[in-house]
Structures are given as structure tokens and as C-alpha cells.
Structure 1
């Protein structure tokens, strides 16, 4: 029976296994009048113990099936409870039992000490009584071990700061997904990850088929692939442990901005480490309990109560020592200063660190989500497009921070410069598989990938030609007596050839904006423009900006400095508090909003939405137009709610081109686009005959498209004398000795 339990629960503590084995055997062989009741209680107790000790992945029905089999085996061996009970009433022993010649029943049960008193040994029955105090002590030890076992998995959002009503639910989710043990059971265990045979799908769409995930601890992986291939889906599966990652490896997933409430930003970051918060509370509680026990202790009298109190005190002392050791390992005493440093690096001034999270905009809440994850220092940090909501200074800080990050990082990003600085390895997700490019940044991956594709294409074509040559000979001489042996030899050769899959064609996207008629200058100008939501508190002041048809202007600066405000002033969504904004009478301005998804009707298909917004063309024309922006095949006929973020961005650009604009005003145009799409957009903007004014954090796109750089900071918008690399260099020069990027602005 003990071996059967071990088969189902191989990691079960031997103390528990021996206890269950002994308990059931004792109950099964009891001859007391209440034997049937005792046996039923024993089965129920052991079943519950095994269910509590089972890992989350084990189906509970396997435990119940095991217990049914054990009960059947015991009844077959010792008889049913009713039969043995009735026989006990009438059976006389053949000889006198000498107690000294028999092993203690307590040894049979696997308990320590002489846990059984024999009240009577006669010819009619043998009845025993367990020492209740020792049994309770053993059960307390078992329960303490169970409390340290791995908890079950649940789905959660690691990046969310839930409201006060749901805070406990968030904490429960966190602790269950990332279990913590006070003992050293996870010490020394490898934190490398290798999971084979991964099959993953969503909504009937296959994402991965029989793939292998390999992540070496301490490496930083960039996960790349075209829009809609399933990169974010893979990250969510990892964060929910749908992929079998060992439980001693902690995981945090930063996917979206946190939910705001009245919690100060600094406290929100501290609360992210739920285990630290719980251990601190447990230490306070245990210290109070020990003080209460000490107050009740009588230094002279030795009573049953005092013995029990001493045992409880010893147990609490041991637990408190474990908690203190774990808090020291976490460096809990340095937590607040570390959280403040992370927030400062992401642009939060000391004053703003004390503001409630609900007072922050979406971009700043995203930074808070990122700060919470960095503070928790998980073994596996999952980042999904972290640069989408960050400005150049914050991206610079994050890049510098991750380069010295000790744990494993898996980041989905389409920012070439960011991947070049951060990634030590690249994982390319395509064709339902994962390809690994070790020891290189994105640029080296891109060159190696293309070389691999060309080599695979050449090998495939050569093999197809060789197969065709063999098959032609076989078909011609299969039934020729003189050539039959040669034909058979070629058949064997053909069977032994490895089966090669045809490589994917080179993935490419082409964006194109229509040509526009010439307009005489001035086209679009701002002269001495100031804007304030509240009088006397200008967001920007005295801005002078001139946009021509050949302009390629990039605006950079920290979040909250007023970059988007300048764009909205230009397109007329906001009215200037002071100054003049002049536009050409026939000017058409195309505006790409940072939150462009809000303007899409996600219940409609891309084709239907284009027809609604710009009627007058056939569906085929709309599909052809969308195809020019990478929305090909049936993708344009699906509901836009099913499209990835990058695909929705492409739809927004397709709509933008239908306006036939003279000037493109773009607010974070690279968000969600894959690298090929960003290259296509850069090429299209450079070829566009009209003017371009963009706010962007993507260093590669700014360097490729923009000829002039303007910095928006401290209420001003001024021309910068260098390029984007010079701007980044200036940011790094502002970094203090503590490595924190300092930003001279107030949000």
C-alpha cells in the first residue's frame, strides 16, 4: 500500500506516507466493537491528507481511486468491517498473547514513541487506545509540512494593482501562483527552464506545435515574430503556468497598466511583493503570541498546560527564525529605498511617489506596473512591449537596469535599439515553432536568420531536385528486368532521405501613402503658442514651430511634458490659450493617435469599417488597400476585436492613407508594430511627398525618418542641435552615480 501511495505522490514526505500506511493498517485490523466506524474515519482522514498534499497538476479523482483500491485490498485481506466486528464478539483466542513478544502498534503506525496502552489482553478481544497528545503533536507536524507545500495555480494578472475591495484576492492569487517555502526545499534547485512538447492554441488558431522552450537562468531573451503570430499569447500561458514551469521558479508578467486607487505610488510598489508583506505581518503576529505565552508562564510550577505552552513557544520560535531568515534573504530592510530608486529611474519625482495611483495617466500607470515587477525581482520576468508607454529617458533607464538584471528576462519587443542593448539571445517565433539564436543581439539575429532561411531554402530545393531525379528513374525502370535492381536501390535511397519542410518565404510588408498635390507655403505654423488647462499653469509656452511639405520632424521628451498637447494644438483638437496657429486653406492633416484603437469599431471587420468611414468603393478595393498595409487574406474580414495590437495599428494606417493627407501628424506610430512593419512604415514616411511630424520613443525610427529633432521639456519646445543618439547620450550624462536616470521636469 505504501508503494501505491508513492507511485501516485512520489514527492510526498516519508513521514506522511508512513503515517497513512500505519493508520489504515491499524484501523483495518482493529477488533473493537466500533471497528467499522474507526475504519471509515481512518479512510476519510487519510484521503483528506493525501488530497491536501497532492500537487496542483494531479487530478483529485486519482486520489479517490487509489483509496478505493486500498480499501478493497484491506477488506480482501482482513475481511469487511462488519464481519470482523461480529466475529470479534464471539471469537475466543487459541492461546494467551504475551505482550512482550509483539511489536508496538505505534511502530506499525509510523508514529514516534510507545503510543499505545493495552488495557486488556484476554481470550476474547484485544483493544488499544492511542496516546491523544502524541497523536495531536504528530498531526501538527504533518500540518506544518502541508502548509509549506506548493499551492494550486490560478489565472492572474501580475501587473495589476487591484482596488482595495479585491486586494486580498490579488494577494491570494500572487501567493498561489508564486508559492514560497520557509524551509530550504527549493535551495540549490536549478532555475533553468526547459519544457518540451508544448502545444498552444487560442480561439482555434494553433500557436505552437510540439515546441521546446529553453531559457537559461540569467539570460535575457528577446521574443520576436510578425504581428498575430502569438507572442503575447505565449507570455500569458507562461504567466498562468499553462506551460509546466517548475513551481520554485517565480514569475511576473507585465502586460498592461495597473488599476488606480488611493494607494500612494511608493506603497503600490512595496505591496507588489506580497510575500514580503505577509511575512512582515506574520512576524508581528508571532511576536505578540510569544509575548502572551511568556506573560502566562509560571517559572516554578510544571503542569500539563505549561508543558503545552512550552511546546507552542518552541514551535513559534522556530517559525519566527525561519521568517527572519527569509526576510533577510529578501533584504526587506532595504525595500523602501530600492522601490524609491526604481520609481525615480522611471521618472517619478519624490513628490509624485507619494501621489495616489488613480491620479496618474495610462502611461504613468504602465511605469508603475513595470516598477512593481522590477521590485519583486522574479526568477522569470515577462515583459510585453515595455517600451510602448515609455518615453526615451525611461526606456534608457529600463535598458540600463535590465543589462545588470540577475534573473531571466523574456521580453516581447519590436524596438531594435532596445533589443540590441538588452537581449543576450533572440527567440524567433514562426510557423508554430521557436527558433533560438544564441549569444547575439537583434542585428546579429536578423543577419543570421536571413542566412539560415537562404541555406534552408537551398537545401530544400536541392533535395526536391534530387527526389525528382530518383523518382523519374524509378518510374522509368521499375518494371524493367535489366534495371530493376538499380530501381530498387534508388527506392531505398528515396526512403532514407530526411523529410525537409519547405522554408517560409521571406516576410515583407510594404506601406504606401498616396501622393499629394503641391501647396504653397506657409503650410502649418505655430507662433508664440501657449496652452494651459488652468490659467497660470502652462503646459507649454511660447512655442514656435513650422511644418512644410518636406518636413521630417521628431518630437521627443519625457512623458507628461506636453508632446501630445502640441500635436492636438496643431490639428485643432485643442485651442491655444495664447499665440497663433495658421493653416493653409486646403490643408488636409492625417492624425494617428496613440490610442488609435479607441477610434475603431471592434465589432466590425476592417473592410466594413473602411466602407463605413470612406464610402464609395467596392469591397475588393478596400481589401486591396488594406493588403498594402499587411492586412491580407481573411484577416480583413474578421472582427477587429480578434486582431492583434499590431494588426489594429495597420488598419489605422490604412484608414489614415484613405484621407489623402498633406501632412501626417503621428503620436507614437511604432506602438505594437512588428519590426518588418516598422521598417515598411519608415520607408513609406521617407517616400511620402507631404510633411511628417511625429512624437516617438523608437530610436531606430527617429534616426531613420527624422531630419530635425525637437525636445519638449519644462514647458518649452526647442530645436535640438544633434540627432537621437546625441539626445540619448545627453540623457545618460544626466544619470547620477547611483545609475538612476534623472529627468529635469515635473509631471
Structure 2
């Protein structure tokens, strides 16, 4: 029987907290049953009444009230200490989560986990580094671990980068590719101090420096020599010289000639032009450029600086098809070492001499381009599967003998021998296969009479003297699979917004069927997500009225399952955030999709799954993409945006690539 406790109930809204504590006291052992005398009822007399309303106040405020309620443990306590500790831990976790939410609501930034790296010390390498005798530009990082908060990303890994080779780092979203680059760039992992490293991660700060000069300033040696030369010349011309300036100027001129300082502006200009900067843009100040162009500027600075180790994280995300083709050609002549994270198969095939595969908390290296990596990896998996099956069959054969003659005295020695043999066999491990990624776009299909979506003789501008489009006429229906390509700034995203009705034509007509329901994936989709809440909370906020199981199911359709669904969106990788955006976009079941750079940040397996899902989707599609393989997998029509209009190319992507290559030859880039 339960003891009768005098209770003073507070306000109605505190009842829930009070009953949580009551429920805990019952479940944790204070049920009146003595653990040592099972079946005999025991009453517990408390020294004073318990005010549950006050307990609820303390519970909500985070004060630890439970230990004070319980009897001394050296008495005949009814409390199971292990259950008590677990309950206290659960309460503490809830309180911490509540505090995090309160702090985010009050405007305080969410505190995220931080990455860390550890590495076993090598006395030989330490001696070489200390003595200054290590002149090699090869990078050898052995037996290191990388973690992100409590999650282990790499353990006991080895990374060997031979100087002059170009490495593609591949692997699933969220496994730690970007984190590994950051650990290398920050030298959290030991790299010889004489090896210069450049990581293209952040956009260039906007100021009054012209774009071309911003690139030239990366060569600090050249800049310091030119500055000193200017100061010495001024001193000599003003008559304030000390007589030694002439000798020093001769040394400076020799040094400038050796590094070919006079050719630097031309080289910087070629790099900028290849990345899409016109002659006029090269003279514009950096503050005049958008974030995407400043990222291109950061890439141009890195290419111009020519570090010993260049780290690139998804460099094609910020580029159009024309700039990607130029970058492929430029990097093929790169003299030092490159480590690039990319999910663009064509780019890796053109650039990489080696592939490093991050999976199962380790790094595996393969010689050759990406296609060769895929071929060798599949062969390895087949061999591992055959070996696993052979070992399993051998074990089963031995076990059958043991089971058959276990109780046969005449075979006792043989059975013992077989048992010892079984114990000595290596531990049987199944083949480590990566889980398949599946996307599914729900069909919102019903037959409409065309036209479904159409622009007729549309003119558009942001400023009256600068037209983006003149006389634009395009149309799409529920069978359309159209890809829009063109240089950055040509108006691709603007056209998509006109098609969706977000921007109104200055002249001309936009026609959309009354039953058309468009799903839009923005190039800057992360800006549309609330990063301080979880993915399930995000969907609940956007589409209220459903159960948590429904939100979790929707996220699970795009690979955001388990603890990923309840973690703050800010802590997810770029690819995982993209999946959350897809889950949000498809929740209302659109019948037409407009996708602006949907493959950015997605790993290759997810891109393949996205292509399959779009091909299976019964509805219309217009997308902007720079991923050549993805375009070939999905699209049947190609629109080229530029010069104030949109042209349809009948020959598809092959014809478009040939046009770009011819432009490069005419401009002297190839």
C-alpha cells in the first residue's frame, strides 16, 4: 500500500511537473515493498508534509530536489540507487536541453560541438623537424584520430600525400571530410613547418581593394620586395640616401626578376578571367561583389599563390559549367600537391591522380581517377565477400564435426583439436557495405491541359537601363525535364523566380495553370532553415498538425533518421542540411519542381539517388545545375541562358561543352 502524504497543490499549470515527480517516486522503488522481504507491506513515515507545488517550482528551475526527498540510504530504504542515478541523469539532460532552447530563444548563439584531432608522436619525425633537415614536401600523417564533439570520425588513420600528386577525397555526407581539411589547414595534425598550406574556405573580405590587386597581394614576397623598392627609390630621389641603397636595389631587382614579378599581373588576370571575371570586373573593388563571387576570388588568390599543399572543399559549387571546365584544365598542370573534396565525378576524373576514400572511420587510398577507384573498390568488395563466405563455410564445416562427435569418447581428442582450431581462426567480420541512400518524391500528378507554365515575350530588369531579359519566351509541361545552364550572372536564378511568380515581368505575360503546385529548392537553401532547432521541430513549425512519427518518416525518406532528426540543424553537415531542405520542400506534394543547384554539398551516392527519384517522379522539372553527370542522368532538354535571352540547344550537353571548349581556344585559355 502507498503512504498517504499531505499534499498542497499549486496552480493548475504546475500539475504536470508535480505528477512527474510522483511518478518517479513510485517507479524508483517507493512502492511500499521491502526488497529484502518480498511480499510484506512496509509503510514509510516521513518527517514532514511534502508540498508538491513547491517541488514543481524547483523541478522547473533546475534545482535537484529528489535526493532531499529520499530516506537515508543506510536505513531500510525502498529506493533502488541505480534507478535513482539514471533518473537523475535523465532529469539533468532534460534541464540542459531546456536551457539550450531558452538561450537560443533569448538571442544567445547556439554552442556547437568542436572538432579535435590527436596523433601518435613519432620520435624520428620530431628529430627531423627539430634539426631542420627535413626538406621533403611529401605529407605523412600517421596513426591519428579526429573527433567532432563525442562523435569519432577517424581512428588510427594514415594519410600519405606525395608531392606533385592530386588527391580527391570522397565519402558520404557527415563522415568528416570537411573537418579533416580543417584539421590539416590549422595544423592540428602535424605537418612539417616548411610546407605552406592554403585552404579555400572563406570568401574574401569586402573592401576598397580592386579584385586584381587582391589576387596580386597573395604573393607576399613580391609585395614586400616592391614595397621596399619603392621606399628606397623615394629615398634616393629625395637625396636622403645613405649610399647603400644602390646595392640593395640591385639585389631587389635580381630577386624580382627571379620570381618573374613582371609577369604576375598577367598571370593573375588569366586566372580571374578563367573563373569568370571580365576585364571590368577585375578592376572593381571586392566590396562590390556578392558572396559567391568573393568565394571565386578566394579560389583565384589560392591558385595564384601556388602553395605546397592546396586544400579545396567543393570548389565546383561556386562555379558555372564554363568555369569548371577551365579549372579542370588549369589544375591538370598544377605542380605541387592538391587535396580536394568533391562530389563531381567528371571533375575528379579530369583532375585527380589518386582517390582517398573516407569510410568506417578510416582512409583507404587508390591510384588513378574516380572511375578507376569505383572499379577497384567494387572488386575489393567482391573479394572480401568471397573470403567472408569461404571462412563462414569453413567454420560451419568444423562446427558440424564438433557437434556430431562431441559426446563420442573415441573422437574426443579430435573434437578438442577442432575446438582449438576454431578458437585460433581470425574473427569473422562481414563485409562493411555502406547503406544505400533512397529518395522518393511523392507524386502530385494529375493530367492538365497545356500550357502548364509559360513565359511569353517577357522583358525584365532590376534597373531600367540594364535589361536582364528581352523578349523571353519559354514553356514547360508535366513531362518536361529541362536543365538551365549559363555563366554566373546570366540570369538563371532570375528566370526561375519569374517562372515561379516571385518576380513580375516588366513587359510580357507569365501563364501558370491554376492547379500547378511548385516545389522550389533554392541555391541558398540553408538560409531558409532555422539552424537553432532540430529537423523534426523544423517540419512541425512549417507544417503543424501532424505527429512526430509523420515528421520523422518524412525526414527518413531523405536519409535524415535516428539522432540526426533531433540534433540542431546547425550541427549537420552541408549535405545533411540539403536533405532536410528536400524533406521540407516535398512535404506539400508538389506536381512541378524548380531546383536551383540541388546537387551542391550532396555526396555521389545521394546525387545518384536524387537522379533516380526525379526520373521516377511523375511531374514537371526545371533545374539549374553545373554537375555534368547529373544533367546527363536527368535532363532531356538544355536551355542556355545568356545575352538577355534563353536558347535551346538541340545537341544537349555534348554540344554545349564543345561550344565552351571552342570559346576557350579563341580566348587563348587552352
| TM range, smaller chain | 0.7 to 0.9
**Would the alpha carbon gap of residues 738 and 406 (structure 1) be closer, same or farther in structure 2, given more than 3 Å must change?**
farther
Question: For residue 636 of structure 1, what is the aligned residue in structure 2?
Answer: 565
Whether the 8 Å contact between 1:186 and 1:248 is mirrored in structure 2 is no
Distance 2:404 2:356 in 1: 46
Matches within 5 A, 1:301-316: none
> Alignment partner for residue 430 of structure 2, among 502, 506, 527?
502
**Would the alpha carbon gap of residues 480 and 515 (structure 1) be closer, same or farther in structure 2, given more than 3 Å must change?**
same
Whether the 8 Å contact between 1:363 and 1:559 is mirrored in structure 2 is no
**Would the alpha carbon gap of residues 619 and 188 (structure 1) be closer, same or farther in structure 2, given more than 3 Å must change?**
closer
Question: For residue 266 of structure 1, what is the aligned residue in structure 2?
Answer: 212
SS in 1 for 2:364: strand
Deviations for 1:250-292, whole angstroms, at most 9, x for unmatched residues?
1111123222111100011111223332343345557789999
Distance 2:430 2:333 in 1: 40
Name whichever of 284-293 and 525-534 sits farther off.
Answer: 284-293
Question: For residue 373 of structure 1, what is the aligned residue in structure 2?
Answer: 302
- Structure 2, unaligned stretches of length 5 or more? 1-130
How far is 1:190 from its partner?
Answer: 2.2
Question: For residue 582 of structure 1, what is the aligned residue in structure 2?
Answer: 511
How far is 1:477 from its partner?
Answer: 6.6
Distance 1:357 1:188 in 2: 39
- 1:237 maps to 2:183: yes
Question: For residue 269 of structure 2, what is the aligned residue in structure 1?
Answer: 340
SS in 2 for 1:538: strand
- Scaled by the length of structure 2, what TM-score is found? 0.76
Matches within 5 A, 1:588-607: 588-607=517-536
Whether the 8 Å contact between 1:286 and 1:320 is mirrored in structure 2 is no
Question: For residue 444 of structure 1, what is the aligned residue in structure 2?
Answer: 372
> Alignment partner for residue 344 of structure 2, among 404, 415, 420?
415
Distance 1:325 1:234 in 2: 40
How far is 1:505 from its partner?
Answer: 2.4
Whether the 8 Å contact between 1:665 and 1:694 is mirrored in structure 2 is yes
**Would the alpha carbon gap of residues 482 and 287 (structure 1) be closer, same or farther in structure 2, given more than 3 Å must change?**
farther
Deviations for 1:130-157, whole angstroms, at most 9, x for unmatched residues?
xxxxxxxxxxxxxxxxxxxxxxxxxxxx
**Would the alpha carbon gap of residues 737 and 712 (structure 1) be closer, same or farther in structure 2, given more than 3 Å must change?**
closer
**Would the alpha carbon gap of residues 319 and 196 (structure 1) be closer, same or farther in structure 2, given more than 3 Å must change?**
farther
- 1:195 maps to 2:162: no
> Alignment partner for residue 403 of structure 1, among 290, 313, 332?
332
Question: For residue 606 of structure 2, what is the aligned residue in structure 1?
Answer: 677
Distance 1:538 1:291 in 2: 52
Matches within 5 A, 1:398-547: 398-439=327-368, 441-470=369-398, 482-494=410-422, 496-499=424-427, 501-516=429-444, 517-547=446-476
- 1:695 maps to 2:624: yes
Distance 2:507 2:481 in 1: 26
Distance 1:633 1:446 in 2: 29
How far is 1:359 from its partner?
Answer: 0.9
Name whichever of 247-256 and 578-587 sits farther off.
Answer: 247-256
Deviations for 1:38-84, whole angstroms, at most 9, x for unmatched residues?
xxxxxxxxxxxxxxxxxxxxxxxxxxxxxxxxxxxxxxxxxxxxxxx
- 1:276 maps to 2:222: yes
- Scaled by the length of structure 1, what TM-score is found? 0.68
SS in 1 for 2:455: strand
Q: Which structure has the larger Rg over C-alpha atoms?
A: 1
Question: For residue 393 of structure 1, what is the aligned residue in structure 2?
Answer: 322
**Would the alpha carbon gap of residues 429 and 296 (structure 1) be closer, same or farther in structure 2, given more than 3 Å must change?**
closer
Deviations for 1:199-254, whole angstroms, at most 9, x for unmatched residues?
11112211111111011111111111010010000111111111111122111111
Whether the 8 Å contact between 2:272 and 2:297 is mirrored in structure 1 is yes
Name whichever of 386-395 and 287-296 sits farther off.
Answer: 287-296
- 1:736 maps to 2:656: no
Distance 2:159 2:249 in 1: 38
**Would the alpha carbon gap of residues 552 and 599 (structure 1) be closer, same or farther in structure 2, given more than 3 Å must change?**
same
Cα root mean square deviation, aligned: 2.7
Aligned residues: 539
Deviations for 1:378-400, whole angstroms, at most 9, x for unmatched residues?
11111100011100000010011
Whether the 8 Å contact between 1:711 and 1:720 is mirrored in structure 2 is yes
- 1:613 maps to 2:542: yes
**Would the alpha carbon gap of residues 468 and 246 (structure 1) be closer, same or farther in structure 2, given more than 3 Å must change?**
farther
Distance 2:482 2:493 in 1: 14
Deviations for 1:440-480, whole angstroms, at most 9, x for unmatched residues?
x2122122222212322332343244345446656877897
- Structure 1, unaligned stretches of length 5 or more? 1-184, 298-312, 742-747
